[in-house]
Structure 1
């Protein structure tokens, strides 16, 4: 349900452009978060412009920080629900964070293995042999 407001802008409500600048979240991303329900539908001006309050801005900052830490949108949704609840269930938040940490550690391990492979390929390169390039040869293999 959209709420239309007839009033002059107050400092407590901000347009999407101002919110984008304040939070560092792209305008289209803010609209997307609204569409998928991570951010509540903001109030609307008489002209139909979105008007965000402090709670919307707090949620956007929470989402942005969570994205910077690599949390998925579904993980963020769960964390937002925990943050909004009265109980502030730290154990549930820790479970989400620990599961995410395992994914991060797995990615780090994969990247370390990738770096080792690339390091080995690069070490085999002999610039004085222009007809033989182990990197290009390896990339052409279909194993």
Structure 2
């Protein structure tokens, strides 16, 4: 075991292995200020305190849940501030949840419309000439996600 590992310091490679991030992601999160700047060996190689592993784990989970960099930055800040209220954390999470629910509703609407387009093509024109396909006609309508499936090949 080298002196850095025995003193608790982690190389960027060890930190990457422990957190599941690649080295370039760790450098990026350092660059944008999500994790503290690394100490440097005389050779210039980065080394980190063990606390950075916990912060990166928080960052990883925030990113896995789709939080933006700014939302993640706020969560990291809240994780170390005893004089701030947990309600701030809840508000960030609630706002993000609302955004996800809105996007989910949009995706469900798109799925329903596209399903209708595909079914109309299956029922009416599959095997016909492509330029007359109802899907292409539907997608050419100005408000295609709200349009009723077109009649095919006629």
When normalised by structure 1's length, the TM-score is: 0.86
Mapped partners of 1:94, 1:39: distance in 2? 22
Match of 1:23 among 14, 19, 32: 19
User: How far did 1:88 drift?
Assistant: 5.3
Match of 1:43 among 14, 19, 39: 39
Mapped partners of 1:9, 1:78: distance in 2? 30
When normalised by structure 2's length, the TM-score is: 0.81
Larger radius of gyration: 2
User: How many residue pairs align between the two structures?
Assistant: 136
Mapped partners of 1:20, 1:136: distance in 2? 47
Mapped partners of 2:18, 2:135: distance in 1? 46
Mapped partners of 2:5, 2:32: distance in 1? 27
Which sections of structure 2, spanning at least 5 residues, go unmatched?
Answer: 143-154
Structure 1 partner of 2:115: 119
Q: Which moved more, 1:13-22 or 1:43-52?
A: 13-22
Structure 2 partner of 1:4: none
Q: Which secondary structure state, in structure 2, belongs to the residue aligned with residue 51 of structure 1?
A: strand
Mapped partners of 1:130, 1:111: distance in 2? 30
Match of 2:5 among 7, 10, 19: 10
**RMSD, matched Cα:** 1.7
Mapped partners of 1:27, 1:137: distance in 2? 48
Structure 2 partner of 1:100: 96
Higher relative contact order (CA 8 A, sep 6+): 1
Q: Which secondary structure state, in structure 1, belongs to the residue aligned with residue 5 of structure 2?
A: coil
1:56 aligns with 2:55: no
Report if aligned partners of 1:42, 1:56 keep a CA contact under 8 Å in 2: no
| Deviation digits for residues 102-125 of structure 1 (CA, Å, limit 9, x no counterpart) | 100000001001101110110011
